[in-house]
Amino acid sequence: MGLSTLYLSVIVLIPVAALISVALGSGLHAFWTSFTSSLALKALWQTLALSAVVAVIGSVMGTIVAWVLVRDQFPGKRILNSIIDLPFALPTIVASLALLGLYGTSSPVGINLSLTRTIVAIALLFVTLPFAVRSVQPVLLEVDKDVEEAAASLGASNATTFRRIVLPALRPAILSGTALSFARCMGEYGSIVLLATKIPIASLVIFADVESATGSGNSAYQPAAGLSVALLVIALVVLFGLRKWGADRGR
């Protein structure tokens, strides 16, 4: 216990404490300004909106993929199942590079999405795919098929069975996957660094702020630290909110 706490403190807790201390160290007014300046607000809003859209699309598609992986039978399914984890294994910068080449200015398939939000969204869908699929898949495996058959034999249509039996069982898992995807999107850097050059995404704005403060004292990092804390608070609120909603509705 002692050693674990010490290790966690040196690596994680002290740096996070320093971040909060610097964010608030120049007074509350400076903290307020750090995330309400027009660029910061724009960055927070863009990041929030894009993360929300991606988390929702990702969850819908993830649930469909999970359904196919669990309920459908076809040759090659096992290979398909194992490539779902590819985004966990592939370095995010490689995804960024590949999408830039594939859907950028010199796209071989003639789809030029460079500098658009769409290409950033595709990158985020890529990195969050395993969260969306792997949250739902194990729960879907455990869903009691007897209940579905009972519903069907009592005359329920497929749509009704899905809406009344399957979906309620999956809801906590889907929401938990959505929450994880959302949190990941809010902080994502590697997969979008080459794509979001013209779109103010929070992580990239913080990165630029940090670079311009390099070499100065800790207080020069205040705007970056303030924006970081704001971003973190938003991500945590949404993460726990969605998880709690899922748990409550699941009861």
Q: To the nearest whole angstrom, how small is the minimum distance from the Cβ of residue 56 to another protein?
A: 15
Cβ(120)–Cβ(203) below 8 Å: no
> Quick one: tokens of 98?
């590949």
For residues 182 and 74, give the distance between their C-alpha atoms in angstroms, rounded to a whole number. Answer: 32
11-40 residues in contact with another protein (CB under 8 A) are: 11-16, 18-19, 21-22
User: How many residues interact with another protein (rule CB under 8 A)?
Assistant: 87
225, 205 contact by CB (below 8 A): no
Asked if 40 and 34 count as a contact pair (C-beta separation under 8 A), the reply is: yes
Binding of another protein by 128 (CB under 8 A): no
Q: Does 153 bind another protein (CB under 8 A)?
A: no
65 binds another protein (CB under 8 A): yes
64 binds another protein (CB under 8 A): yes
Taking contact as CB under 8 A, which single stretch among the options 8-16, 32-40, 48-56, 112-120 is the one that binds another protein?
8-16
Which is nearer to another protein, 84 or 120 (by Cβ)? 84
Residue with tokens 């009691």: 144
Taking the complex as a whole, the smallest distance from the CB of residue 99 to another protein amounts, in Å, to 6
Over the window 182 to 221, marking each residue x when it contacts another protein by CB under 8 A and - when it does not, the resulting string is -x--xxxxx--xx-------xxx-xx--x----xxxx--x
Assess 90 for contact with another protein (CB under 8 A).
yes
Q: Which is nearer to another protein, 56 or 80 (CB)?
A: 80
Residues 6+ apart with CB under 8 A from 50: 117, 120, 121, 124, 185, 201
CA distances from 172 to 4, 66, 113, 125 (A): 31, 15, 35, 20
